[in-house]
Amino acid sequence: MPTVSEISSRYIDEVAELDPVRGERWGVASDSTRLTDYSPAGYEALRELLGRTLDALADADQPADEAERLGAGFLADWIGGEAGVIDVGERERNLSIVVGPAASTRSVFDLMDHDQPEDWARIAARLRAVPACMNGYRATLQAGLDHGRPAARRQAIAVAEQCATWAGSGDGGWFGTFVRSATGAGDGLRTELEAAARAAGEAYGSLAAWLRDEYAPLASVIDASGDERYQAWARYLLGTDLDLDEAYEWAWAELGRLEAEKSKECERILPGASFLDVRELLITDPARSVHGVEAYRDWLQSVTDEAIEGLDGVEFDIHPSIRHCDVRIPPEGSAAAAYYTAPSEDLRRPGQTWFPTMGRTRFPTWHEVSTVYHEAVPGHHLQGATIRLVSLTRSQKLGFVSAHGEGWALYAERLMDELGWFRTPDTRLGYLSAHAFRAARVVADIGLHAGRLIPASGAAIYPGWSGEAGRPWTYDGAIDFIVHASGMERDKSESEVLRYLSWPSQATAYKLGERTWLAGREAARAAAAAEGREFDRKGWHARALSLGPLGLTRLGAELAAI
């Protein structure tokens, strides 16, 4: 019988073969001239692989060590969750500006090497694969319509607009701009690149037109997923069966707590003013902003570097191989939220944080410090890159559970507050707003998707908010709600709500994941006190990170035991 480690490693290789875009994101050595087959046949092959791997795990030898024990539980939950999402038909209506095939295919080029002529030759081959890739994706969406599984019309229009932005107007659009940066490519290769880029742009333009003109009129006017689909996503992204009513009620209480803290910081900044008035000051005062895209990137990099330098050896022992995290600016057309891409499997490609500019050239800084800590160190980069180094099965090193990863990143922001790193009222208000935003995400996400009504306490939480007690959530009301909670500009808040509606339950992963991390730390602190010893926070962090990604049910049990 194969071991858990053998099954885990084989699974990664087989997924990278079936899904080269995912393989590139993992940094797994594979054929970088290909793209993922998003056609019905491609998804059928993926589902068969998931089932075969689950069967192999059931028949595997008993775990040989702690790494295999953790890895077996992780892999069963991870692939079982993805199989569940496929089985309820979610891949046939996968329209998302964040994680849909169009966005994932475009962004894979951001991760490819492009320093040498041979790198650009591989890029040219992968660009030539774009039209077939988008045609396969379109066939799956059409199958969804045929099977009575339409995506929401709002998502179809949003993805159409995104694809049109990247398509350009006959010049290859984003793809044409990308290949113009080719260095060292001879005339023949440059000609190939330009032709492949034009074909890729045309494929995105064709998909945009089909979504807008043919798919959208047949799409659903209902944005919500409903409870069944929502729970399938929760098992995949959170690794637990979610009690929707308990989570909804808890998040409202947490939001109330955070709003009280926000009021205190607002009073320090502008006595007597409301949060929205303070926010207006913070986003309009030129002295509180960085001016210019490159200056913004440099400032983000300096905040990242300062955190690494200040925490290494004090709160964490950061391995030299991961002590740098690159800050990047993604192209226009990307979703509004910052994001992180982990190092490659061999650590040759570094961890990277990506901060969209949304066409702006002036960048208020009050809320971005907390975001840097979330995305880089001690957040995603510290966790994701450390996992590459510890003794775990291969799939656990490369895998990701949203509630585990996003929960840690939100816990990391809280830790930096506990350590006093938010040194001004402005940046501490940014941190509190980020957490209020994540609590607001939970109630908005469950409210929108699962049809929960707005409670009286919630309707009263923000003066001027359009929500009414006892009424259902609306799209515009959710955007207004996120503006009040987070202080984001309205266009970014709308991008957030679009994201929630295209990705059920993922928005809850942050706060519900953080809750599990905090409960685990408090259990360890209580155990230390009961034994008459001092709680070793640094040691607990090291042990907790070494567990690797786990769903919330398993994570809670493991954290309570370390």
pLDDT tens digits along 482-493? 998 888 888 889
Quick check: 276 and 262 in contact, CB under 8 A? Answer: no
Continuous segment of H or E residues that includes residue 140 = helix 130-146
Neighbour tally for 416: CB within 10 Å: 25
Buried b (16+ CB within 10 A) or exposed e, 494-509: bbbbbbbbbbbbbbbb
| Whether residue 222 sits in one domain with residue 184 | yes
Residues 199 and 302 in one domain: no
* Helix axis angle, 552-561 to 402-418, nearest 10°: 50
Give tens-digit pLDDT for 479-528. Answer: 999 998 888 888 889 999 999 999 999 999 999 999 999 999 999 999 99
Q: Model pTM? A: 0.93
Residue count (the chain): 562
For range 112-116, the mean pLDDT = 89
Inside any domain, residue 71 = yes
Q: How confident is the model at residue 170 (pLDDT cuts 50, 70, 90)?
A: confident
83-122 CB burial, b ≥16 within 10 A, e <16: bbbbebbbbbbbbbbbebbbbbbbbbbbbeebeeeebbeb
Q: Are residues 194 and 250 in the same domain?
A: no
**HSE toward the beta carbon, residue 376, CA cutoff 13 A:** 29
d(CA 316, CA 310): 10
Q: Residue 130: count other Cβ atoms within 10 Å of its Cβ.
A: 22
**What is the reported pLDDT for 358?**
86
pLDDT of residue 115: 85
- Decide if 537 is inside a domain: no
pLDDT at 230: 98
The answer to the question of residue 187 being in a domain is yes
Whether residue 286 has a cis bond before it, omega within 30° of 0: no
Report helix, strand or coil for 353.
strand
Residue at a domain's end among 180, 202, 234: 234
Is the pLDDT confidence value at 411 over 90? yes
| DSSP one-letter code for 330 | P
User: Is residue 523 a part of any domain in this protein?
Assistant: no
Residues 317 and 209 grouped into a single domain: no
Residues 96 and 41 reside in one and the same domain? yes
Say yes or no to pLDDT of 335 above 70.
Answer: no
Range of the domain at 57: 4-234
Distance of CA 32 to the CA centre of its chain: 23
- Is 410 a residue whose pLDDT tops 90? yes
In a domain, 504, yes or no: yes
The pLDDT tens digits for 48-78 are 999 999 999 999 989 999 999 999 999 999 9
Residue 213 sits in the same domain as residue 242: no
Reported as half-sphere exposure (CB side, CA atoms, 13 A), residue 137 has a value of 25
Mean pLDDT is lowest, of 163-172, 181-190, 221-230, 500-509, for: 181-190
C-alpha distances out from residue 272 to 137, 275, 351, 463, 557, Å: 54, 10, 43, 15, 45
pLDDT in tens, 202-219: 999 999 999 999 999 999
Mean pLDDT (the chain, rounded): 95
Residue 127 lies in a domain: yes
Is the same domain home to 198 and 246?
no
pLDDT at 455: 95
Express each pLDDT in 225-260 by its tens digit.
Answer: 999 999 999 999 999 999 999 999 999 999 999 999
Q: Are residues 230 and 246 part of one domain?
A: no
Q: Give yes or no: residues 43 and 109 share one domain.
A: yes
Report the alpha-carbon distance of residue 91 to residue 85 in Å, rounded: 7
List, for residues 21-50, the tens digit of each pLDDT value.
999 999 898 889 999 999 999 999 999 999
- The residues, any chain, with a CB within 8 Å of residue 483's CB and separated by 6 or more, are 489, 490, 493
pLDDT in tens, 441-492: 999 999 999 999 999 988 889 988 888 899 999 999 999 999 988 888 888 8
- CA 197, 199, 202, 208 torsion-angle sign: negative
Q: Is it the case that residue 185 has pLDDT exceeding 80?
A: no
Q: Does the pLDDT value for residue 333 go beyond 90?
A: no
pLDDT at 30: 82
CA atoms within 13 A on the CB side of 519: 14
Q: Do residues 553 and 243 touch, judged by C-beta distance below 8 A?
A: no
Final residue of a domain: which of 234, 249, 269? Answer: 234
Domain boundary among the residues 509, 527, 546 is at: 509
- Are residue 362 and residue 455 in the same domain, yes or no? yes
Angle at 456 between CA 452 and CA 460, to 5 degrees: 115
Q: Are residues 264 and 218 in the same domain?
A: no
Query: Percentage of residues in the chain with pLDDT exceeding 70?
Result: 100
Decide if 473 contacts 444 (C-beta within 8 A): yes
Total number of domains constituting the chain: 2
User: Which residues have C-beta within 8 Å of that of residue 407, sequence separation ≥ 6?
Assistant: 509, 510, 511, 512, 513, 514, 515, 516, 517, 552
Q: Please state the φ and ψ torsions of residue 220, each to the nearest 5 degrees.
A: -80, 140
Distance between CA atoms of residues 265 and 151, nearest Å: 42
Same domain, 201 and 59: yes
Residue 462 lies in a domain: yes
- Asked if residue 538 is part of any domain, the answer here is no
